[in-house]
Amino acid sequence: MRLPRPRAVVLAVLAAVVLGNAVVYAHAWRFTQFVAEGRRTPNPDSLSAFGRLGALLTGVNVPRPRLRATPDASMNAEELRVGPIATWVLPRRADPSRDAPLPDAAIGNRPGDTALLFHGYGGARSDLIGEGAWFQAHGLTAVRWARRRSSAPSGCSG
C-alpha cells in the first residue's frame, strides 16, 4: 500500500480549513444580520435531513424583531432612551396587588428593588410585557432593556 504524497495531504488539510472557515463565516454573518422579511428557521427537529444540512452549512434565518405591543396605561410605563439603549421602566406600585402575600423581608418590599429584563436574541422588549407586569404587581420596578433599532428598520426602538 502506498502512502499519499505530502503535497496531496497538505492540499486536503488546506481545503478542509478553508471550507470550515467558510461555514463559520456564514454562521457569523447570519447570526449578526437580521433578514428583512421571511420566516425564522424552524427547530431542527421539524426540518428534513436536507433542511438540517442547509442550516448546518449556511446558518439560520432570524427575521428582524418587531414590537408587537406596548405596556398599557395602567402600568404607568415611561420610555427612556440613552444612546443606543431604549428601555421601558415600570415603576413599582405603592400598594402592589400580589397574588400571595410576601414576608416583610422578601424581595419587593423595599423601594429600591428592581428587576432587569433582557429579551433573548431575535426578541423584542414587547415580548416581556407580561413578565414586567408580574414584577410590578409584586412590588418591584421592572426595567426592560433593548438596543434601539434592533426591532424596527425605521429607527423605532425595540
Average pLDDT over residues 92-118: 63
pLDDT tens digits along 6-15: 888 889 999 9
Sheet holding 141-147, edge to edge: 78-82, 85-90, 141-147, 114-118
Count of C-beta atoms within a 10 Å radius of residue 51: 13
User: The whole model's pTM is what?
Assistant: 0.56
What pLDDT is attached to residue 58?
A: 84
Average pLDDT, integer, range 37-65: 83
Q: Is the pLDDT of residue 16 over 90?
A: yes
pLDDT at 102: 52
Query: What is the DSSP code (8-state) at residue 158?
Result: -
Distances (CA, A) of 53 to 22, 38, 49: 15, 20, 6
Cell of 138: 409584586
Cell of 8: 496531496
